[in-house]
Structure 1
């Protein structure tokens, strides 16, 4: 069982230990990291208010990224 998450948000490295399983990404971004750009709209994902752009690094030497 994994007891931590490791990811980047806006170029900042995040290591979160003992993550609560009921947390969702929107709650984490807004309440834990105080990033309030994404909003809770319909609560079902239909309106797009909670949309978060996810990217991955293609080339670590040039910091080239690909958005998904």
Structure 2
């Protein structure tokens, strides 16, 4: 995929989160998959997405955290 295609996929995920159409944990897993693929392809990861990924990791690493 091209960088622009990844950006479009991430934008779709953000819209799902805002519209509460998807489970936040599922969205996090999909985002991590996209970012991991981008890393594997040597594409740059924008700083805001790196921070967002770290925030989600922290949110879901809390024992008993519901993600809600």
Higher relative contact order (CA 8 A, sep 6+): 2
| Alignment TM class, shorter chain as reference | under 0.3
Q: TM-score, normalised by structure 2?
A: 0.24
The structure richer in strand per residue is: 1
TM-score, normalized by length of structure 1?
0.24
Q: Which has the larger radius of gyration?
A: 1
Of Structure 1 and Structure 2, the greater helix share is in 2
